[in-house]
Chains A and B, each alone.
Chain A
Amino acid sequence: MFFLQFISKFIKVMRAGASPAQIAGGFALGALIGFMPFFSLQSAVIFGIIFLLNVNLSAATLAIFVFSFGAFLLDPLFHDLGFYILTGIQALQGLWTKLYNMPVAPLTRFNNTVVMGSCAGGLVLLAPIYFGMKKLVVAYREGLETKIKKWKIVQVITGSKLWQWYERLRDWQW
């Protein structure tokens, strides 16, 4: 129910109310959090950034959900990537050693393979996600919505009883 409400809110945002850059920014930062293990210092910092910057919160929240699931699937890949970054690149050894011995930095758990791998993966994908999302929002507003509504899957979902029940609840005057 919560998730449907969320998608509905997101679709509204996609139509109007926020600029494509705000939506794409929220989505990209949310994706970065989604990739990383949830309870970490850097996640808290990015949360703070999302709240402070004028980016769309619905898009960020949706991205956290979607990319957390993606991160679960990609966990072995992040482990391998993190292990390579932490041990395989000689030029970075000095930096890691310095960070390892600095105050606060160890609290980020940067020396963990999954934390490092997912963080690196998220940062690499940050720009493509931002620009991709921005393009998608513009396209959506320029007519993609009508096309999507004609998709069979969308028609099946919006025609389902669960959706109708949700719409009734949504429009209920409390």
Chain B
Amino acid sequence: MRKGAIYFLLVFAALVGVVLYFFRDRYLERWIENSCTETNRARVEIDNFHFSVFNLTCKFDRLQWTDPQNTWTNLFETGPVEFGIELRPLFWKKLIVREAKIAGILLGTKRATDGRVDLPPEEPGLFDEFAASIEQQIKALPILNLQALKQKINLDSLVNVDQLAVVQGAQAIRFDADSTGAKWQQFIKTYNAPAKIGALQAQVQSLNLQNLKTIDDFTSNLQSVTKLRDEVTALRDEITTSRKNAEQDFARIVGDIKNLDNLAVQDFNAAKQKLGIADFNVKDVGKMLFGNPLGGRFAEIMRYVDLGREYLPTAQKLMAINKVENPPRWQGQDIAFPRTFAYPKFLLRHALISGATNANVAEALQLKGEVWGITSDPPIYGKPTVFDAQVFKEESNAYQVRAAFDHTSDVPKDTLKLRAANFRLGEVDLKNDKAYLPARLQANRGAVNATLALAGKNVLGKITLDIDQVDFQFGATAADEISALIRSNVFRPLEQLHLTAEVQGLTNALQFHIGSNLDNIFAARVNELVQASFARAQQEIRLRLDQEVAKRRQQVEALYAEKQKQVMAELNKYQALIDEQLAVVENKKKEIEKRIEDEKKRATGAAKKKLEDKLKGLVKPKN
């Protein structure tokens, strides 16, 4: 034991302590930045971090949290922040923040440097699925080309015969019928059933039962007949199987011919879509008018839910121990074990927050509120993360926003509520580029009530909007009479708008519906204006397509009938022949068996008689 080493170690420990004390701020700042950057998948930067060892408080001047979708913009940045941490959990390597004041939050600020970091791509989250589902539904909406209805339809350019699904389908059937017919003709030729049947027939005819006298003759012939019957049966089975296969092949072609009707419907819808006269339904009106802005709002909310899902993992995610194959050297993989001690790895118990959407107070939305229980381990903390805030603009009433992220169990449950009365709406971009639809909505004041609830991947959301003094504004001047009429008769007279948007279902297969007091008026007016033109256009397209379909159908049906008849006639003939031979052989076999039976009876009778005679001789009374 080196006694001097104790002094050395003490001095060394003191030196390490001094170095750590003086460099702790830089070290901790770097550590927090790296951890947050890894979680955010984009750079997170902290300015002038300071940790007071004696008071156990931390403060920093600014935190910039890069938007991973746009790395030249911050998702948010904060002003000076100060918070106290609890001592005891540090021995468990846990960071518990008692109370924080986060002031001067600004959303969407520009960054001086690119905040991108190179990390492997992430699996798509709820937001991506949700946004894709909404976008798909808006894209699937019918596009009305009102101008086209007034013009004479050029059917030749609209219905390109070679491109029609029904024509391509008919060509495929022709090819199939030809190749199926050829395949079976080839089979019939190479199989050479007549020769095989003929050979068996000769063998059957060579059997002459009249010349058979003894039991032995009958027995040896019975074996030959049985063998012959097996051969005939095998050939019959082969022919039957081939016939059934041929029937199946031709049945498939019949199915394809029947499917021509579906292809015709597909062609009809495509032609209507091309002309811009797809079926117009009242339920689509809301989505056509307000789908883009409202779908976008829902998706925006989902993005925040997605962030919550990512940063507040559930028990299931925390305890998942799938082995990481080949982690970087020295890094390994951290394995999580059940926590019996109630400290989460990170917990911010309570924070007061205030900020704005941008630095210009007159234009910005102001934010003021509180957050409870932001944690890296919700199941351990056992309470949901709650966010309660007021969002308001100068000279306008506030939006009440309340969100709860309950990730304490395996299935995350999130709710978001937004409510505002008598708020100033201003101008809303409706993102429509059709001449008959408004491009913007100008309104005075309104009330909004929105709720969004998610359990796992199940979404239930509703937004209701009541808006006063509505004024719809259009992008370009009306290019046609119908558009002008729709503008003046439908949109101009409307003063109040009541709008309801609903989403329901799984995030990747949502039912998205928007309804408003405009729907019926708009649909009725459009139908009234364009009904006659609609019907005429549809009839013309239908007529042209029907002609094409009838022609193709006739051709393929004739071809099918010809090929099927040829092949099946041959196979049926062989089937009849072989069945006939089998019957003859069976009869011969039965006859031999009967003769053997008779012979046996006869022999048994003779032997019996002989025995009786002998017995009679033995017991004859002596005279």
Contact = CB atoms under 8 A, between A and B. Distances in A.
Interface of A: 37, 48, 51-54, 72, 75-76, 78-79, 82-83, 86-87, 93, 96-97, 100-104, 106-107, 109, 111-115, 117
B10 to A, nearest CB: 11
Given A51-B9, A100-B339, A87 B321 contact: yes
Given A86-B335, A103-B92, A111-B334, 11 more contacts: A51-B5, A54-B1, A79-B332, A83-B323, A83-B333, A96-B335, A100-B338, A101-B341, A104-B91, A106-B92, A112-B333
A83 B340 contact: no
Contact of A52 (B6, B333, B338): B6
Nearest to A99: B337
Given A51-B9, A104-B91, A106-B93, A111 B336 contact: yes
Contacts of B330: 37, 72, 75, 114
A54 B335 contact: no
Contacts of A83: 323, 333, 335
Given A75-B330, A103-B92, A52 B1 contact: yes
Interface of B: 1-2, 5-6, 8-9, 91-93, 321, 323, 326-327, 329-341
A111 B337 contact: yes
Contacts of B331: 114
Contacts of B1: 52-54
Contacts of A87: 321, 323, 335
A97 B321 CA distance: 14
A96 B337 contact: yes
Contacts of A102: 92, 341
B9 A48 contact: yes
B116 to A, nearest CB: 29
Contacts of B6: 52
Nearest to B91: A103
Contacts, number: 76
Nearest to B339: A101
Contacts of A107: 93
Contacts of B92: 101-103, 106
A109 B330 CA distance: 12
Residue from the set A37, A53, A97, A100 with the largest chain B CB neighbour count within 10 Å: A100
5 contacts: A75-B330, A101-B341, A111-B336, A112-B333, A114-B331
B5 A113 contact: no
Nearest to A101: B341
Contacts of B327: 79, 113-114
B326 A115 contact: no
Nearest to A107: B93
B332 A113 contact: yes
List the 9 shortest-distance A-B pairs measured between CB atoms, nearest first: A114-B332, A103-B91, A51-B5, A113-B332, A101-B341, A100-B337, A106-B93, A97-B337, A86-B335
A54 B337 CA distance: 39
A21 to B, nearest CB: 14
Contacts of B93: 106-107
A113 B339 CA distance: 18
B119 to A, nearest CB: 20
A79 B328 CA distance: 10
Contacts of A97: 337-338, 340
A89 to B, nearest CB: 12
Residue of B5, B321, B336, B340 with highest tally of chain A CB at under 10 A: B5
Contacts of A114: 327, 330-333
Nearest to A37: B330
A79 B333 CA distance: 8
Contacts of B334: 109, 111-113
Contacts of B2: 51-54
B9 A101 contact: no
Contacts of B5: 51-52
A87 B5 CA distance: 39
Contacts of A86: 335
Which of B321, B330, B332, B341 gathers the greatest number of chain A CB atoms within 10 Å?
B332
Contact of B329 (A75, A109, A117): A75
Nearest to B331: A114
Nearest to B336: A111
A101 B91 contact: no
A104 B335 CA distance: 17
A75 B341 CA distance: 32
Contacts of A111: 334-337
Contacts of A93: 337
Contacts of B8: 51
Contacts of A103: 91-92
Nearest to A95: B337
Nearest to A114: B332
Contacts of A100: 337-339
Contacts of A37: 330
Contacts of B326: 76, 79
A117 B91 contact: no
Nearest to B4: A51
